[in-house]
Amino acid sequence: MTPVALTIAGSDSSGGAGIQADLKSFAALGVYGASAITALTAQNTTGVSGIHPVPAAFVTAQIDAVFADLDVGAVKIGMVAQAETIAAIADGLTRWTPRHVVLDPVMVATSGDRLLAAEAVDALKAQLFPLASLLTPNLPEAAALLNEPVASSEADVERQGKRLLALGCRAVLVKGGHGHGAESTDYLIDAERSIALAAPRIATSNTHGTGCSLSSAIAAGLAKGEAMETAVRNAKAWISDAIAAADRFAVGHGHGPVHHFHKYY
């Protein structure tokens, strides 16, 4: 059986993040990708100039069309934009009960542009967190979700991870890319344990779509039947290589994309 993953997210017109990055990640890791688009964005490597949300009823139609025909092994949720879309996604996933849901709480783009309406944050926590097998916030997103300062120590990261678990998700991966030091350390936290996953910090400005691609890579691993820890470890190794290869590209004038297909060219 061909492994299938579904991304529910926004479209990036410049191709480096969002739906485009998700589908590239799935393909690079040997998984067939389907998509349900929540919003169109006018953006490039320097920023976001416009957001056009897709009507919630049409988000529902896309989700239903995919699940009615494809054997979806895992779902990745990225940019959801607004409360109405969150409700549509929650209803759809409750009906179709996918085995794995990776929720990337996309709030701000790499460029600094806001991608989630402030009034939709509570809906995200109340409706989608309880459906998530894994939540993948970066350090600023974890802090914003909890109305706390950004964690500055391992103890703070673990405490914030436990607080996020209490909101209903089954596991949390707090990403350390926004931290400092020679290593970028992510923390995989569930009810039983906290696992530190370190990798060398790579000096590059080409990081557009990094979070989208990591969460999609985890979903790809889950769709292939990998256990959660294995999927996270494999995805982190893959995204580290994709970031290391990013400077092979000369794309745009801002934060360029990572190299999803670094193994192939």
Does residue 210 carry a catalytic annotation? yes
The one catalytic residue in 110, 207, 221, 256 is 207
Question: Is 236 one of the catalytic residues?
Answer: no
- Determine whether 207 is an active site residue: yes
The reply to whether 212 belongs to the active site is yes
Catalytic residue (choose from 10, 161, 211, 221): 211
Tell me which of 33, 45, 78, 212 is the catalytic residue.
212
Catalytic residue of the set 78, 161, 177, 209: 209
Question: Which one of the listed residues 18, 73, 210, 221 is annotated catalytic?
Answer: 210
Q: How far apart are CA 51 and CA 43, in angstroms?
A: 9
Of the residues 41, 175, 179, 256, only one is catalytic, namely 175
Which residues are part of the catalytic machinery?
175, 207, 209-212
